[in-house]
């Protein structure tokens, strides 16, 4: 408790802005608090976050679907007995993998850890994954392959302030994480901010007035941009030759692969002028340490990662950073901007289909033995790899596929690609159980809904986008009838006759997580609630020591890369383009993204009156030339039709988007969900779906009220 309230953090994105919450009549009062990432600032979502605690439709009692098809109130005992009985029956008849679990990147580290343990020990299923597969999986796969470690930002965010140049691909930071923009001030002042985006987004507008460059490529061709930049760096002798020789391997293969992407050829594919590509490469090189510059960074976000070539695109970004000698240098580097509040910690401790706590791999015998010993079970009892998220959802209703699904911290009926098909499969389950604190679109499809605590009502930890482990603190009691997921899993484990202990105390669960992570890539063994309470936060890895406590690791890669030979790997990649590309019957690209006022599926922010009033519904953004050709006026209905569905929304005519592209935000459900159109094709390495680009036909729409 500070002089101004309880010290905690915002419930939304991975920036995890520091807040001070003061209990007041009817809820809490929110103030910004000084912290390295937000420096006292908050965005609109953070300032209004207390309103979610007072949502008028807050869930406060379990709900069970009756024989009439409606959800009715039930006691906790009835609801949990029903869930346990049906899970046992499903396992007995169809096998353990017929039960699946879908988690979320907003769960605390304690919950993420316990959910992975519950799935593998109490349920015995391999089929657990989470919505972080939709968020960070391509960046994680590329970083693990090239750098040996996946930590979103392997340096503190504040390090960006001294940079001479920052290349930002696929992130509209000014709307998704507004307090982070202040860290770009140094690069902007030096004219070194480079934003790659098919829209002239709020972030792209930061470069106006000589503060940087905006590259506006054809959607789905960011990889071409990166290949061309590396071509220029190598062809013009701008690489850090000593760094590449001493700290990397694989240059020859990458050099051959980018030789074909000279800027003029790249321009024909991506639409970015060759001269602008050369200028960007030279700007980055001039800011890099080898050329005496103040430092340079390459940053990626979902716009380039949510693609069937997302892993390749991030790999190309890392290749460029390595050629310039950036990773591991103070004041320079490569990083991926994690989106969800605990997207980093959520994947480190067991929610991913192939991972155990500490970022250990589930098929590693030593990892299995270590974690099984902490859990008090035999290593051979732990299941192997499960199905990644999209494949898992596709397998529902198929022979051998899941018959029961438990959903925690995710709103699949809005957030999944090709969402109409996902909704159909969810309706076909024998059992759908959803833990939530509001009746989300997914909860409304469930057979059993369990009301659980939210951010200001619980203790725990989260891991921010820069690998900083922070404390979430309880400020007020939850409404009567609401329980923590830790309690829910403990009660279900007991009913299922599970081995092991499922503690309900977050501090005790964290201590167990720390032991399970010891020696892993994401080692939290030197951390505890008690230690984190004595200071603001610590970066992982933070291993336990026999002497003075480990100080944490704000910057990784400074001495070596955590690969077998200590070197980073340059990996050759090539471009194939979107799998749902433009064609005669769908000649326009559709790209999706977020707006300032809303977050993820909108289940929280659409319940905040101020935010909902500002942006009550989605729209379709299109260029005046496209609008003129179609005969569409501003605010008039426009219809989008693609291979997977169609929808109608109001037009927003603006010259901030390419003439061959339309944009639509993704925070709404039902018939307004842009994910009715998005592609569920996946990256072959990461399993990431191709959310960010698909092809649509655009026409003047039906009058409002008509069926889409």
Q: Give every strand in the sheet of 468-472, ordered side by side.
A: 460-463, 468-472, 537-539
Q: Is the pLDDT of residue 105 over 70?
A: yes
Query: What pLDDT does residue 347 have?
Result: 87
pLDDT band at 26 (very low <50, low <70, confident <90, very high): confident
Residue ranges of the chain assigned to CATH 3.40.228.10: 140-336
Mean pLDDT of 242-255: 98
What is the CATH code for 6-53? 2.20.25.90
* Mean pLDDT for the chain overall: 96
Fold annotation for 140-336: Dimethylsulfoxide Reductase; domain 2 (3.40.228)
- Span 588-700: which CATH code? 2.40.40.20
Helix 263-270 / helix 222-235 crossing angle, nearest 10 deg: 170
Quote the longest CA-to-CA distance of the chain.
Answer: 73
**Which residue ranges does the chain devote to CATH 3.40.50.740?**
63-134+342-539
Tell me what the mean pLDDT of segment 377-392 comes to.
Answer: 97
Average pLDDT over residues 381-403: 96
Question: Pairing relation of β-strands 128-130 and 99-103?
Answer: parallel
Phi, psi of 404 (to 5 degrees): -135, 145
pLDDT band at 341 (very low <50, low <70, confident <90, very high): confident
CA 644 to chain centre: 24
Evaluate whether 315 touches 305 at the Cβ level (below 8 Å).
no
> Which tens digit of pLDDT belongs to each residue from 226-239?
999 999 999 999 99
Confidence of residue 80 (pLDDT cuts 50, 70, 90): very high
DSSP 75-109: -HHHHHHHHHHHHHHHHHHH-GGGEEEEE-TTS-H
682-706 tens-digit pLDDT: 999 999 999 999 999 999 986 444 4
The per-residue b/e assignment along 191-214, b for 16 or more CB within 10 angstroms, e otherwise, is bbbbbbbbbbbbbbebbeeebbbb
Nearest to 475 by CA among 450, 461, 454: 454
Looking at 1.10.760.10, 3.10.20.30, 3.40.50.140, 3.40.50.740, the CATH number of the domain 63-134+342-539 comes to 3.40.50.740
Please give the Cα distance from 465 to 155 (Å, whole number). 10
How many CB atoms are closer than 10 A to CB 262?
Answer: 17
pLDDT (average), residues 376-403: 96
pTM of the predicted structure, to 2 decimals = 0.96
Between residues 570 and 537, which one has the greater pLDDT?
570
CATH 2.20.25.90 domain residues, the chain: 6-53
User: pLDDT of 255-293, one tens digit each?
Assistant: 999 999 999 999 999 999 999 999 999 999 999 999 999
């Amino acid at each position: 408790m500070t002089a101004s309230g309880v010290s905690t953090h915002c419930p939304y994105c991975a920036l995890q802005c520091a807040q001070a919450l003061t209990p007041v009549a009817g809820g809490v009062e929110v103030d910004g608090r000084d912290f390295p990432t937000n420096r006292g600032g908050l965005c609109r979502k953070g300032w209004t976050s207390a309103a979610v605690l007072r949502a008028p439709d807050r869930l406060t009692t379990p709900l069970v679907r009756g024989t009439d098809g409606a959800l009715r109130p039930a006691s906790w005992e009835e609801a949990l007995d029903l869930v346990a009985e049906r899970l046992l029956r499903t396992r007995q008849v169809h096998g353990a993998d017929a039960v699946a679990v879908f988690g979320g990147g907003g769960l605390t580290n304690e919950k993420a850890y316990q959910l992975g343990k519950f799935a593998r020990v109490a349920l015995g299923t391999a089929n657990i994954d989470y919505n972080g597969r939709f968020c960070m999986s391509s960046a994680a796969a590329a970083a693990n392959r090239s750098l040996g470690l996946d930590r979103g930002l392997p340096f503190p965010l504040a390090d960006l302030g001294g940079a001479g140049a920052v290349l930002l691909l696929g992130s509209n930071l000014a709307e998704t994480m507004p307090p982070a923009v202040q860290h770009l001030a140094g690069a902007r002042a030096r004219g070194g901010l480079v934003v790659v985006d098919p829209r002239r987004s709020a972030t792209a507008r930061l470069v106006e007035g000589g503060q940087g460059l905006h590259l506006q490529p054809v959607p789905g061709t960011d990889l071409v941009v990166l290949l061309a930049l590396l071509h220029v760096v190598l062809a013009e002798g701008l690489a850090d030759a000593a760094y590449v020789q001493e700290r990397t391997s694989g240059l020859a293969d990458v050099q051959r692969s980018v030789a074909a992407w000279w800027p003029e050829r790249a321009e024909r594919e991506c639409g970015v002028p060759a001269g602008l590509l050369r200028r960007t490469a030279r700007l980055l090189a001039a800011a890099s340490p080898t050329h005496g510059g103040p430092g340079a960074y390459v940053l990626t976000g979902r716009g380039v990662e949510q693609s069937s070539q997302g892993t390749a695109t991030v790999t190309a970004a890392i290749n460029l950073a390595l050629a310039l000698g950036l990773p591991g240098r103070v004041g320079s580097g490569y990083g991926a901007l994690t989106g969800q509040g605990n997207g980093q910690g959520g994947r480190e401790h067991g929610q991913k289909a192939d991972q155990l706590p500490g970022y250990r791999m589930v098929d590693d015998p030593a990892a299995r033995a270590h974690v099984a010993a902490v859990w008090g079970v035999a290593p051979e009892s732990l299941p192997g790899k499960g199905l990644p998220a999209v494949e898992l959802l596709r397998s529902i209703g198929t022979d051998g596929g899941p018959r029961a699904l438990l959903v925690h911290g995710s709103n699949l009926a809005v957030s999944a690609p090709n969402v109409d098909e996902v909704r159909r499969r969810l309706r076909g389950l024998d059992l759908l159980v959803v833990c939530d604190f509001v009746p989300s679109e997914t909860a409304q499809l469930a057979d059993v809904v369990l009301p659980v605590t939210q951010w200001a009502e619980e203790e725990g930890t989260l891991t921010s986008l820069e690998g900083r482990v922070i404390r979430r603190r309880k400020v007020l009691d939850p409404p009567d009838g609401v329980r923590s997921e830790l309690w829910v899993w403990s009660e279900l484990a007991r009913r299922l006759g599970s081995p092991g202990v499922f503690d309900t105390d977050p501090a005790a669960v964290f201590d167990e997580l720390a032991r399970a992570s010891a020696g892993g890539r994401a080692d939290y063994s030197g951390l505890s609630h008690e230690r984190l309470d004595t200071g603001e936060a610590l970066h992982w890895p933070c291993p336990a020591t026999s002497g003075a406590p480990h100080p944490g690791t704000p910057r990784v890669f400074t001495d070596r890369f955590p690969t077998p030979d200590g070197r980073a790997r340059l990996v050759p990649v090539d471009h194939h383009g979107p799998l749902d590309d433009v064609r005669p019957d769908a000649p326009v690209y559709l790209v999706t993204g977020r707006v300032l006022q809303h977050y993820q599926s909108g289940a929280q922010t659409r319940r905040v009156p101020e935010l909902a009033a500002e942006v009550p519904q989605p729209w379709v953004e299109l260029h005046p030339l496209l609008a003129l050709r179609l005969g569409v006026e501003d605010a008039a209905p426009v219809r989008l039709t693609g291979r997977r569905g169609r929808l109608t929304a109001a037009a927003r005519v603006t010259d901030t988007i390419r003439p061959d592209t339309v944009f639509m935000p993704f925070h709404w459900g039902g018939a307004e969900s842009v994910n009715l159109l998005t592609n569920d094709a996946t990256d072959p390495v990461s399993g990431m779906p191709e959310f960010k680009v698909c092809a649509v036909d655009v026409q003047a729409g039906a009058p409002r009220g008509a069926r889409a």
